[in-house]
């Protein structure tokens, strides 16, 4: 092939050579990097030794979740080399396993809660950790909590400790629970976007942000009920832990300005005098106090720090013993369904109708699995995908395998739809559930196009042809079709609930209409069978299957062989320690808790929801007001 003669040809030819050379260098470096890691993994791993008398250090960095969001193993490996947490998530079961095993472990003397980096998490998840901390204390071992400041979620866990330590410039930042949403009606009008709303249910407020500028009276009434229930649970538990009247906590919040003025603005002293904390100490003083209480050891080369072991190292050190706790051919299957429900396939952290159906099918066809527990932590999503999942669960139960649903922080709307085939439904008192209703949402942009001078015209063979083009006004024919399908979907929803809960359609309709309930109210209304955590649901499932001994088998999406190899390398202690030799200092540029970040995160989530909705008929079972409710 002749070489290009023109100047432009020579330029692009040189650019292509430069690109190919650069690509070759990068790929070779990546290959060498992975090869060295692979070789290092076979050189042996130094055992993790839990020194006798150690405190189990619980210092979660992120949000407590039922299921970790899927991350490509190579990305996770590279992130680990920089001590980065890609997802900002901590698996609830890891925390519970570590606490419960430590209670009987002679090497563990105590627990230290370091909660500065714990972010917003579901109330029920924190409740399960709080219950585990109480079980730990019943073994005669102490729990200490230390924080620079305490948010409401952080303080909830801290209150379960024997001693609560607070920094001298810190505060206990209690403010009460709230659910606030951004409303886009006026903004959409200004942009010329017409959002066509279809819904059934007086309380189905998921679409209100797109049709109103404020909360409706019905939504305000419903939200006040369930959020009030959760707040009463919070102040009652805090009061019990700290020997305070629940009314005192409301008074502390509502009159904080006056109490602070009396103490010249000293928030730490106010917390101490209010019996919310036991000591005010600087970081150094807190470490010295814990070192005197627990003892010292060689922690990261420093002998002046209190003796401790982190959760993940502790679980790694005890994994063989933990595995021996359950040995049986009979198994109770456990599937976690966490996140928004979408049509098709999704990775962990979201729910795909097809991918979850496959997991349920695996459990149904596995003769060793005698019962299934479905852990749901979802505000719903696609109506079609929800029905795909429900149908497969019904098939499993019809095959004679007991099905028990365990509701996490929320199992509402589509999350409740997929609960209906269960033999039993378990929830925590603070679970957000119900929202039995359905909606459709279809935006059109004819007014936006007009403002831009962009016109739409054409011809179709029927009245419906081209009706759903976003640049056209939605015709009545299309609107009527969508509304009819919506009403049929609502009737199907309440019929499923009525059959599952042994209620009449009228009884279900009276507590449906899209209304949200707390787990406690749902139990009283008959929407759930029992109040309890995941362990209680598993025990119940084993009882329904008449199992005396059993093993819990987690059923989850499998990695490809290549992904599995990289994940194994990621979990290699020697690889981690080797990579971290080259770690560079990281700086936090923007904290997730910042007000502006919170606004843009919410805005982004709402817009992503619009973009990612993929139900084939445009019908959704989703509790939008549940989404912002994280326990901060």
Residue 419 tokens read as 């609960």
Q: Per the structure block, which two tokens stand in for 48? A: 């993790």
What gap in Å lies between CA 95 and CA 334, rounded to an integer? 18
Are 539 and 532 in contact, with CB atoms under 8 Å apart?
A: no
The Cα 42–Cα 61 span in angstroms is 30
Instruction: Considering the candidates 141, 204, 331, 370, report the single residue annotated as catalytic.
Output: 204
580 is catalytic: no
**Is the pLDDT confidence value at 567 over 70?**
no
Higher pLDDT: 35 or 222? It is 222
How are the residues of the chain apportioned to helix, strand and coil, as percentages rounded to the nearest 5?
45, 20, 35
Which of 236-240, 427-431, 532-536, 585-589 shows the lowest mean pLDDT across its residues?
585-589
| The predicted structure's pLDDT at residue 587 | 33
413 has catalytic annotation: yes
DSSP, collapsed to helix, strand or coil, labels residue 363 as helix
Backbone phi, psi, residue 401, to 5°: -95, 125
The three-state DSSP-derived secondary structure of 357-419 is HHHHHHHHHCCCEEEEEEEEEECEEEHHHHHHHHHHHHHHHHCCCCEEEEEEEEEECHHHHCC
User: Looking at residue 257, what is its pLDDT?
Assistant: 94
- Alpha-carbon 422 to chain mean position: 22
SS3 467: coil
Distance of CA 86 to the CA centre of its chain: 14
Query: 400, 376, 371, 399: which is closest to 386 by C-alpha?
Result: 376
* Mean predicted confidence (pLDDT) in 588-598: 45
Domains of the chain by start residue, with CATH: 54-172+277-322 (3.90.226.10), 329-440+498-557+588-626 (3.90.226.10)
Q: Is 449 exposed, middle or buried (0-12, 13-18, 19+ CB in 10 A)?
A: middle
Which one of 413, 430, 518, 572 is the catalytic residue?
413
The 10s digit of each residue's pLDDT in 231-252 is: 999 999 999 999 999 999 999 9
- 536 confidence band (pLDDT: 50, 70, 90): very high
Cα–Cα distances (Å) from 240 to 28, 156, 235, 392, in that order, read: 61, 11, 8, 43
Kindly report the length of the chain: 632
């Amino acid at each position: 092939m002749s070489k290009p003669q023109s100047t432009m040809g020579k330029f692009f030819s040189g650019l292509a050579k430069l690109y190919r050379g650069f690509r070759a260098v990068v790929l070779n470096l990546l290959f060498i990097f992975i090869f060295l890691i692979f070789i290092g993994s076979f050189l042996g791993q130094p055992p993790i030794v839990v020194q006798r008398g150690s405190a189990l250090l619980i210092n979660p960095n992120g949000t407590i979740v039922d299921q970790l969001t899927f991350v490509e193993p190579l990305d996770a490996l590279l992130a680990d080399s920089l001590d980065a947490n890609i997802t900002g998530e901590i698996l609830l079961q890891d925390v519970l396993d570590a606490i419960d095993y430590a209670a009987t472990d002679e090497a563990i003397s105590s627990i230290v809660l370091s909660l500065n980096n714990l972010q917003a998490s579901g109330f029920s998840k924190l409740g399960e950790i709080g219950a585990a901390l109480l079980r730990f204390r019943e073994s005669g071992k102490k729990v200490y909590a230390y924080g620079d400041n305490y948010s409401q979620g952080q303080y909830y866990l801290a209150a379960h400790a024997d001693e609560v330590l607070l920094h001298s410039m810190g505060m206990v930042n209690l403010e009460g629970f709230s659910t606030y949403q951004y409303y886009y009606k006026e903004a959409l009008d200004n942009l010329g976007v017409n959002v066509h709303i279809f819904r059934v249910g007086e309380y189905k407020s998921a679409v209100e942000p797109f049709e109103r500028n404020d909360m409706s009276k019905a939504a305000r009434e419903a939200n006040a009920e369930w959020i009030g229930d959760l707040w009463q649970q919070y102040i009652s538990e805090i009061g019990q832990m700290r020997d305070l009247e629940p009314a005192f906590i409301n008074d502390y919040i509502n009159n904080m300005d006056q109490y602070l003025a009396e103490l010249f603005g000293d928030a730490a002293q106010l917390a101490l005098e209010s019996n919310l904390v036991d000591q005010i100490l600087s970081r150094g003083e807190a470490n010295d106090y814990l070192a005197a209480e627990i003892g010292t050891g060689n922690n990261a080369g420093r002998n002046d720090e209190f003796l401790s072991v982190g959760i993940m190292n502790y679980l790694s050190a005890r994994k063989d013993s933990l595995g021996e706790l359950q040995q049986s051919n009979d198994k109770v299957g456990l599937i976690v369904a966490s996140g928004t429900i979408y049509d098709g396939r999704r990775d962990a952290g979201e729910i795909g109708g097809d991918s979850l159906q496959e997991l349920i099918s695996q459990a149904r066809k596995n003769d060793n699995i005698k019962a299934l527990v479905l852990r749901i932590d979802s505000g719903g999503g696609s109506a079609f995908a929800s029905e795909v999942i429900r149908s497969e669960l019904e098939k499993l139960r019809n095959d004679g395998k007991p099905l028990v649903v365990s509701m996490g922080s929320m199992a509402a709307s589509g999350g409740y739809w997929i609960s209906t085939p269960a033999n039993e439904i378990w929830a925590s008192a603070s679970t957000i559930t119900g929202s039995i209703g359905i909606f459709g949402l279809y935006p059109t942009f004819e007014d936006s196009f007009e403002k831009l001078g962009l016109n739409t015209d054409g011809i179709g063979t029927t009245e419906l042809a081209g009706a759903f083009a976003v640049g056209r006004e939605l015709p009545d024919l299309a609107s009527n079709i969508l509304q009819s399908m919506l009403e049929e979907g609502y009737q199907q929803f309440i019929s499923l609930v009525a059959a599952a809960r042994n209620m009449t359609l009228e009884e279900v309709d009276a507590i449906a209409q899209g209304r949200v309930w707390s787990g406690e109210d749902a139990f009283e209304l008959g929407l759930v069978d029992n109040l309890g955590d995941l362990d209680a649901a598993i025990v119940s499932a084993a009882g329904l299957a008449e199992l005396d001994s059993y093993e819990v088998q987690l059923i989850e999406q499998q990695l490809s062989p290549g992904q599995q190899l990289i994940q194994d390398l990621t979990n290699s202690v020697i690889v981690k320690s080797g990579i971290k030799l080259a770690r560079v200092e990281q700086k936090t540029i923007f904290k997730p808790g910042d007000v502006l970040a919170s606004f843009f995160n919410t805005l982004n989530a709402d817009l992503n929801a619009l973009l990612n909705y993929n139900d084939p008929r445009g019908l959704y079972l989703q509790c939008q007001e549940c989404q912002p409710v994280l326990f901060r």
